Structure formats: structure tokens, C-alpha cells
Structure 1
């Protein structure tokens, strides 16, 4: 175990909190999968879902370990080359996407020969965030202008979002908000951000208007769902989402402070998305508001603190923006999921990172974490090299001091120090000093 831990590079705090969230996820997923186990006249045995989640988590940590060994600056070029590939995948999903049991939107594609499904928007978000970080960290001879950034930055952003929007408005809005946050932190001019935000709102209104003009078009089939969710949240009418929210609130109220106990949730049998979108409600019902509610929230907040520290320590602007661009969305996604469960926000379909069941969401979260850890690993290596250099110089200085002391005694024993020169022992340029070979 010690040997395995020694091979894990990067921020140990991030590793620890990610591992705690992943370990904690097994009991809620095992318990909350009962409605899926009964779906379609099943037996109700959730062991298969637990094993499936275990495999997803193991593959996720393998992704973290593999990615965190890749120098993070490689992803600068990968993000630019990867965007066209992402657009092709998103277009294919839009046309040939499949529906996963329990969901009502075509957001997944089937991976041939392995029987796995993959949500392409999760990959698109990561590639896009790195692409934006790359643009903001570029060395320029002249300041950023709106005209240049419109084609180099915003055109790729809007193309990506246009492919995601018809099937998933909440993810589109979430990615757009995170991009705006990233460009704000990257000191993109505020007046340009205002123009882009206004353009985004105009585009959404235009899209909604076209859906009214062509209500039978497949491209606008999800618009009615968006409208109903907003109406349900405002309280004008009841619907399926209202049913889910009511069951989630009943689950949270039933849990009270200390919970009903692991596996004793009642509402898991009624919530359609109890193991994914509404798993937080099941956690509070079974583990209570203190351990389940605030405990999970505390872990995400601690992870956020580690992201902030990692970003501060990064010695390149690209590294800082990558940590922010990939780390902060994970935390905001968790907060959105919790906000939906307690009806602070309308139903969005955002999962709870590292806890909710699902393959592609876990893998893409782990992929992002691997890149963040790659940034922190590089900073650790730089700090270690600096510390090693300081230690070598300190040891070398001690050896020189001892040699000087011995020579002084020898000179003093001969009756004078006129021929003694301290410059012979300088370590200003110790690269050619033979003692370095001993120290190395």
C-alpha cells in the first residue's frame, strides 16, 4: 500500500478528498438503485448495480493515474486538435443519440463492441475549458481585441454549445456560465464579456422563437420540457418534475438530523433518478442532515479549497486557468445537484460528481481531476528540485566551511595567514566544483 501511495504524485489533499467521495458513493448507489432493479419486472437485486459502479470507479481512478502522469502542457495542443473531433461526436449524438433508462433525452452514444454508452457533452466541456484556458494564457504582443477573440475564442465556444443545446439546455447554460467565469478570472475585458452574455441571451430567445414557429421539428423537441420545468419551479403548474421534487423533499424531511440508516430509504423506490440526479436526497434520508447533508457538502468545499491552493501554486498562467477551468465546474455541478434536491433550483439533470452512478460522468470527472493533478505534480517537482538545490548548496557550504577551518588551523600553525584567500572557497559558481559529484 505504501508503495502504491508513493507512486501517486500531485496534491495529496485532492487525492484524499476524491477517494473519500468515491468510497462514500458505494452505499448510496447500492441502496438507491432499487428502483432501477425493479424496472421492467426485475428482481430488485441491486448487487449488479453495485458491481457496475465499482467497475466505473476503478476505471475512473485508472484514468486519473494515467492522465496525471502526462505533462499538463501537452493538453494545450490536444484541446485545439480535439475540438473538431468533439463537434463530430456531438453532431452524431444529435442525430443518432440513444436514451438511457430513466432519462428522457438522447444524450448518449453507444461505444461499439463493448456495449457501453458515453455522454459526449461531458467530454466536450473538458476540451472546451482547456481550449479557453489555452487562449487566455497565450503570449501576445498586442492586447486582446473583440474582433480577434470573436473568431479565435468565441466562435469555437458557440459552435460547441450549439451542438449541445437542442438535447441539453441545462448543460449548455452550465458550460456557458463556466466559460464566462473562466474568461473573467483570465482578465478578459469586462465590456466584451457583457457583449457575449447579451449575445447568448439573444440566441436563446431566438432558438425559443423558432421552436414556436416550427413546433414539430425534432431539433426543438426538448423546448417544451424546458418550459415545463421552469413553470413547475415557478409554481404555475404541476408535472413530472414536480413529482420528483416532492419525493426528494419528503426524503430529506424523513432523514431529519441523523437519518433512517444505511439502506433504509423509502423514497428511493419512488424517485425515478434516485441513484443519479436525486441521490443527494437519498443520502440525506439515510444518513441525516448532519452526516449526509453537511458532511458531503463539506467534502466538496474542502476539495474546492485544494483547487484554489493548487491554482495559486501553479507557476504558469495556463496551469492556473486549467485548475480553475476544470476544478470549479465540478464543485458548482455538485452545488447545483444539491440545490435541485432542496428545490432551490429547477430540475437540471446534473449528477453529483464522483457519487452518482453513471460511467461517462465519472470517467470525465476523473479525466479532469487527472489533468489538475498533473498541474500540481509539476509544481511539486519544481519545488522539490528547488529544495534539493538548496540542500546541496547548504551541505556544500558546510563542507567548504570545514575545509576553510582546517586550512586556517594549518596556516595558523605555520605562524601567519597572509597567503590565505577565501575566494578559493566561493560557491557562487559550484557547477565545476568536484564536491558536487560527491553530493549528487
Structure 2
């Protein structure tokens, strides 16, 4: 075990908190999967879902390990080359989509011959954040102008968001907010940021207006869902989202201080997304306020480590990569918790590293791997500096010893010269030193 830990490079705090969240996720997922186990005349055995989640977590940690071995500056080129590929996949997903449990899920795509479904928007978010960090960290001879950034930065950003928006508004809003935060930290001119935000709002309103004009179009089919969720959040409507929120609130109220106990949740049998979107409500029901606050504290500690890692990064690109990939994970967790307690309307955002699901866990782990690659580089630089200081210290000691030896030899030679030509002599016929006489 000690050898395995020694092989894990990078920030040990991030490794620790990620491992704690991953280990904690097993019991909530095992418990909350009961409704899925009964779905479609199932047996109710959740062991299969636990094994599946265990496989997802193990693969996720392997992804972290493999990715953190890659020098993070390689991702500068990968983001630039990979973004157009992501656009093609997003466009295909938007047109083709897939069906999950009989419902339209145009944000998902199924990999042929494998049967694995994944959400391309998670890949697009990582690529886009690294791409933005790359642009902001480029060495320039002249300051950034709006004209140049409009083509080099904002055109790729808006193309990516354009492909995500029709199927997933919450993810689009989260990505856009994180990009704005990233460019603000990267010292992009503030007046340009306000213009971009205004342009984004105008484009969103324009999209909604067209969606209401063509409600039957597949491209604008989610506009009605967005409206209903906002209306139900601001009023006392009654639909599926309102039903989920009510059950989540009952679960949280039932948990009280210490919870009902692991596996003893009642509302998991009524919440349709109890193991993913609303798993935080099940956590509070089974582990109480103490469990809910512990999970919140783990995410906040992880955020704290991200801040430290960003501060310690030796390059601007490294600093922005940590912020761009680390902060969205924490904000996504906060959004998931806020939905469970009805602070926000239903968004469909999962709880990172805890909710069940393959692609969401793997993409989160991929981003964590890049962050740990940045912190690993910091450690390597610190280690090289320490080794250099040790070498200089050893060299200085050797020099000091040589100087001392030279001084001793010089003193000895001077003493011999003084003795041979000095004021004392020994008579030739004397063999006893006591017979030495003054000249």
C-alpha cells in the first residue's frame, strides 16, 4: 500500500478528498438504486447496481492515474485539435440522440458495438476550459483586442454552447458562467466581458423566442421544459419536477440530525432519480444533517485544495487549468445540493463522484487527472530545487573543507619556515630538546 501511495504524484490533499468521496458513494448508490432494481418488474436486488458503480469508480481512478502521468502542457495542443472533433460529436448527438428508459435523451449518445451511453457535453466542457486557458496564457507582443479575441476565443466558445444549448440548458449556463469566471481571472478586459455577457443573454432570448414560435421542432423541443421548470419553481404548480422536489424535501426532513441509518431511506422508492440527480436528498435522509454537512465540507475542502494548487502553479496556463477544471466540479455539486433543497429549479446536474453513472464519473476523473498533472509538475520543480540546493550545499562543504585544508597546510609551512629561520636553534651535538639554547 505504501508503494502504491508513493506512486501517486501530485497534491495528496486532492487525492485524499477524491478518494473519500468515491468511497462514500457506495452506500448511497447501493441504497438509492432500489427503485431502478424494481423498475420493469425487476427483482429489487441492487447488488448489480453496486457492482456497476464499483466498476465505474475503479475505471475513474485508473483514468486519474493515467492522465496525471501526462505532462499537462500537452493538453494545450490537444484542446485545440480536439475541439472541432467535439463539435462533430455534439452535432451528431443533437440530431441522432438516444432514448433512455423510454424518454427522449438527445444529450446522450450510444457508442456502437459497446452499448455504452455517454454525454458529449462533459467532454466538450473539459476541452473548452483548457482551450480558453490556452488562449489566455499565450505570450503576446500586443495586448488583447476585442476583434482578435472575438474570432480566436469567443467564436469557438459560442459554437460549442450552440450545440449543447438545445438539449441541455443547465449545462450550457454552467459552462458559460465558468468561461466568464475564467476570462475574468485571466485578466481579460472587463468592458469586453460585459459585452459578451449581454450578447449571450440576447442570443438566449432570441433562441427562446424562436423555440416558442416553432414548439414542435425537435431542435427547440426543450424550451417548453425550461419554461415549465421555472414556472413551477416560482409558483405552486404541480408536475413531475414538483413531485420530485416534494419527495426530496420529505427525505431531507425525515433525516433530522443523524438520519434513519444506512439503507433505511423511504423516499428512495418514490424519487425517480434517487441514485443520480437527487442522491443528496437520500444521503441526508439516511445520514441526517451530519452526513449532509460532511459531504458539503468535503467539497469545500476540495475547493480549498484547488485554490492552493492554482496559487502554487508555476505557469499561468497551469493556474487557469486548475481553476477552469476544478471550480466547475464544485459548482456542479452546489447546484445539485441546491436543487434538492429547492433553492434552484430542477437542472439535471449530478453530484460529482457520488451519483451513479459512468461517463459523468469518468469525465470528472479526467479533469481531476489534468489538475493533478499540474500539481505533479509543481512537486517535480520543488524536488529539483531541493536537490539543487542539496548539491550546492554539498559542493560548498567540499570547498570549505579544501579551503580549511589549504589554510592548515599554509599555516604549517609558515610555522616550519619560522622555526628554521627564527630565533631558536638546537646545537648540533644535542640530542635532547631540553638542551635548546638561545642564540
Say if 1:114 and 1:397 are closer, same or farther in 2 by CA, change over 3 A: same
Match of residue 347 from structure 1: 346
Say whether the 8 Å CA contact 2:98–2:104 is kept in structure 1. Answer: no
Give runs of aligned pairs for residues 38-437 of structure 1, distance below 5 A.
38-101=38-101, 104-290=104-290, 292-415=291-414
In the comparison of the two structures, how many residue pairs are matched? Answer: 417
Quickly say closer, same or farther: Cα 1:280–1:88, change in 2 above 3 A.
same
Conserved in 2, the CA contact under 8 Å of 1:59 and 1:363? yes
Residue deviations 1:202-230 (CA, integer Å, cap 9, x gap)? 11111111112111111111111100100
- Structure 1 equivalent of residue 431 of structure 2: none
Instruction: Tell whether the 8 Å contact from 1:119 to 1:361 is kept in structure 2 after alignment.
Output: yes
Quote how far apart the aligned CAs of 1:236 are: 4.4
1:278-310 deviation digits (Å, cap 9, x = unpaired): 0000000001101x1110000001100110010
State the 1:102 CA deviation.
8.4
Runs of 5+ unmatched residues, structure 2: 418-439
**Offset at residue 106 of structure 1 (A):** 2.0
Gaps of 5+ in 1: 419-440
Deviation at 1:402, TM superposition (A): 2.0
Inter-partner Cα distance in structure 1 for 2:197 and 2:275: 34
What is the alpha-carbon distance in structure 2 between the residues aligned to residue 129 and residue 63 of structure 1?
19
Tell me how far 1:105 sits from its aligned partner.
2.9
8 Å Cα contact 1:102-1:272 kept in structure 2? no
2:110/2:117 contact within 8 Å kept? yes
Tell me the TM-score normalised to structure 2 length. 0.93
- Mark the CA change 1:416 to 1:272 in structure 2 (over 3 Å): closer, same or farther: farther
SS at match of 1:99: strand
TM-score by length of 1: 0.93
- Across the aligned residues of Structure 1 and Structure 2, the Cα RMSD in angstroms comes to 1.3
Q: How far apart, in 2, do the equivalents of 1:372 and 1:112 lie? A: 31
CA contact (8 A) 1:411 1:417 kept: no
Partner SS state of residue 414, structure 1: helix
